[in-house]
Amino acid sequence: MKAMSVFVLSVFLALPAGIASASDITVSGAASLTNAFTEVKGAFEKAHPDIHVATNFAASNPLLQQMREGAPVDVFASADQDTMNKAEQEKLIDPATRRNFVANSLVLIVPLSAKDNGPVKNAADLSKAKRIAVGNPDSVPAGRYARASLQSLGQWDALQPQMVQGESVRQVLDYVSRGEADAGFVYATDAFIAKDKVAIVDTMSGHEPILYPVAVTSSAKDKAAAQAFVDYLFAPEGRAILANYGFSEAK
């Protein structure tokens, strides 16, 4: 029996370090980060073969709710400050690890086929649209940014009858891409990845700066591995991937 124990121990010690100390982390990110973070995950895992990353994407508020309910999350990246502020207030993240890592902008899009002959040429034309897609302001940061922008223009209340709400910014993008809405509000990065289906007709203002914060969660199983992923977002390789998807550096 003693000989068998020594044998098992020797086999374990002979394993490559990456296998013996492999870590699994889960990264929950805002829906608008889906494409960029999917590529970041692959590049990060190549650079850190001892760490496996699982990703989970949705609107920021539902991700926060998942964390409240005990979902195993190691890194949280939100599309707004408000959601991350709530996570910090509820002690769901480690505030010492919180950093803004990218910036974005809110744009008004229309189906590409309607760019030249559709009813909406810019935000001033929104009253001509039959259906306007917007994220649910109660749960989707892009929806809150859109509401603030339209309120600054005095249009929010008047346009309510034409609005159809999406449960994520990607759902809004789908509505416009499929021609189910005459116009919609998404991030510039979303319009960028769907440039063969939608066209930007206006860049919005009147809302707070769109800065994305990221943090290691308080419940992270392997805080060092989670921090390594966060750090990678600021490394040249991570920054290059994010820039390729249209994100700008947070100032």
CA angle 240, 208, 165 (to 5 degrees): 90
* Fold classification of 106-203 (topology level): D-Maltodextrin-Binding Protein; domain 2 (3.40.190)
- What is the structure's pLDDT at 15? 42
| DSSP-derived secondary structure for 62-118 | HHHHHHHTT---SEEE-SSHHHHHHHHHTT-B-GGG-EEEEEE-EEEEEEGGGTTTS
DSSP helix/strand/coil, 197: coil
Q: How many CB atoms lie within 10 A of CB 13?
A: 8
Contact between 250 and 100 (Cβ < 8 Å): yes
Give 179-238 pLDDT, tens digit per residue. Answer: 999 999 999 999 999 999 999 999 999 999 999 999 999 999 999 999 999 999 999 999
Which pTM was predicted? Answer: 0.85
Contact between 65 and 72 (Cβ < 8 Å): no
Residue span(s) of the chain under CATH 3.40.190.10 come to: 2-103+210-249, 106-203
Q: What is the mean pLDDT of residues 2-16?
A: 40
- What is the structure's pLDDT at 8? 37
Under the banding of pLDDT at 50, 70 and 90, the label for residue 12 is very low
Q: Residues annotated as binding site?
A: 32, 60, 142, 169, 187
Which CATH number is 2-103+210-249 given? 3.40.190.10
Q: Residues annotated as binding site for molybdate?
A: 32, 60, 142, 169, 187
